[in-house]
Each structure stands twice: as C-alpha cells, then as structure tokens.
Amino acid sequence: MRQIYLDYAATTPADPRVIECVRTALDAEGDFANPSSAHRPGRNALARVDEARRQVADRIGADPREIIFTSGATEANNLALKGLAARHPAGHIVTSAIEHSSVLDVCAALEQNGHAVTRVAPDAHGAITTQAVMDALRADTFLVSVMHANNETGVINDLAAIAQVCRERGIAFHSDAAQSLGSQPLDMQSVPLDLLSLSAHKVYGPKGLGALFVRRRAGLELAPLLHGGGQERGLRPGTLATHQIAGFGMACALLGDADEVRRITALRDRLQQGIVALGDVQVHGSGERLPGHLNVGFGGVRGETLLRALDGLAVSQGSACHAASMRPSHVLEAMGVSGELAQASLRFSLGRFTTEAEIEAAIALLARVLPALRSRG
C-alpha cells in the first residue's frame, strides 16, 4: 500500500522549486562559496544570503536586518529565551503549559538557574487567553513566551492582544511561529512582537535552518549562545549555510497562496467529518485552528495499537520530538483530557501535497480498522 503522509506538522517535503534553489547554491557551478569571503564567489554567495533574508523578512513584515538565521526553531527559541534571560540574571518569565519542548525545557533550565517561571494553562478550547497571561504578570516579569499556534491541536492564540499587553508594560514578548508561518498572517509592522521563531522545514524548505526575528528597538539586547566569527550581528557565529538559507528564502517566497489554504482547510474538514462519523471520538481543540491540523481522541482503543494498525498512514500521537515517549501528550493533559484518551489520540496534519483521494483513503482505512480494534476490547 502506498504511504499516505498526513504528518506535515512534524515536517514537510521540500517543494521541488526549493530543491532546485538549494542545488544552485551547492555545486561548483553555483554560489557555493563562503559568504564571508571577500572574493567574487563569496560576494555572490552573500548576495544569495541577502536575498533570502529579504524574502523571509517580507513574509513577516520585518526589516531584513531583524532576521537572524539559526539551525531551526529550536535554536531560535533557545536564543530568544536564554539570550534575554542572560541580560536579566534574576526575574520572572511567563509562558504557557502547552509550548513546544524547546521552550518548556529552556524555561525549566532557567528555573534551575534562579529565574521564576509561571506556566499559564489553556482554556477549554486549547487557547492561551490574554487575560490568563495578564493574571500571571508580576512586577519583575521581563519576558512572555507564548506560541502562535499549537503544534499538536493547531489552536491559534491572539498574538496581537498579548503583544499589546506586554508592550504597554515594557515586557519583551516572544512567540514560536514554527507551525503558523505561511497559513496565518504575521505582520511585525502591526503586531508589537519583539522576538519570533521560524522554521524552514515546516514550510516546504530544508531541514536544519530557521530564523529568529529580533526587533530593532532600544532595550532589547540578547546574549549569544555561541561565540566566534561575529556572523549574524554576533548572535549566531559560524559559516552561513548558503544553500539552506537560499532554500528557506525561496520557501517563504512561495507562501501565501490563499487558494491553497482554503483547499487544505476543506480537506481537513472532510477528514474530521469522516472520522467523527465513526463514533466515540473527541476532537481536541476548537475555535480558530490552523488549516491542516486535526487532533482526535479515539474511545475504546489504545493509541499505540491504533497507530500500528494504520499501516500505510503516516500520522503521529503528538509532537515528533516526543515520539519515543510513552507519556501522554502534555498539551492534551494541560487541556484536561484524561490520560487514557490522551494516549488514544492521534494528530493528523495536512499540507500542500495532500490530495482528496488520500483523505478518502484515510477515512476508509480508519473505518475498517477502528471497529475491529474496538471489538477486541
């Protein structure tokens, strides 16, 4: 059986146009040289980096000088939180209980080093409300970090409202937008965000590349995680990976197709309709969601058993970063989902190359497998 890939939230296949762009910055006939070199090949490579920086900046309404390239959103999150915390040796951080581990684990490490951390719980819909963030703020709060959209449920948070609250109080605001880039509007000109993490491999770009938006304003200064070389305004030293950066730029340039977003949303809704019709299921997360995300708990079955039975269907039980863990999703637990149902929940995520035929085949497969598993008890 041909594999049906419905795990776009974990990673996306690179767009063929991105692959070609990457190739032209790799081989001897292309712009392979070190962008820091003063000779012509180096200047050509630097021009490719500058173009990509502009393409990424244009996608989020930023100044190209505000884009710092990293190895991915995980490094960007680390740089944002650790980099700012280093400038505030003692202070309070507000985050949410449903963040990606690259935020939660950093906060736990900072807590061990003397920072205070408050983890805000989501509401019944799976969203982090502005009021909940406001209630958690203290006189010594210097940073708030709340993701734009949850990687497991797809529920979208109101960044503009939270950012405004932080700006009024002089508190830096960071958001992980790895999942939302491309399908949701992000405009740094109108939303007073200070730090924004991005990932290339979530938007049909290459793995191993991401970016951190760092607003150019007085008082916002990060300490680097690494030293040596001075690249990326001294915040991320090391030889720039021209091919990956060019690929990310191309991927960003290809985003923003409203018809694509509508098509993916319609396919997601059809999948949800087909699954709900099977009975004894619970959709996790409601309200405004990302177009391709669907998280469903299946009653009467064990999650790992269902996952194994769905041979030919590539889905996940939650974040790919925790795929080997047998613990229930911390996101679903924070939403009040029982441990048993959380263990029996699957995340389906659709994308650019998902077809209607694949959705119908996935529904048909679930319709065959689920009753058989339930009948076994």
- Kindly list the catalytic residues: 321
Q: Which two tokens stand for residue 357?
A: 């035929």
* 184 closest CA partner among 258, 285, 122: 258
Phi-psi region of 238 (alpha: psi -120 to 50; beta: other; left: phi over 0): left
Tell me if 4 sits within 8 A of 361, measured CB to CB. yes
Pairwise CA distance, residues 132 & 297, whole Å: 26
Other CB atoms within 10 Å distance of the CB of residue 324: 6
With a CB cutoff of 8 Å and minimum separation 6, the contacts of 371 are: none
Amino acid in the structure at residue 68: I
Tell me which DSSP letter residue 353 carries: T
Contact 147, 21 (CB under 8 A): no
Q: How far apart are CA 289 and CA 296, in angstroms?
A: 14
CB atoms within 10 A of CB 342: 22
What is residue 322's DSSP assignment?
G
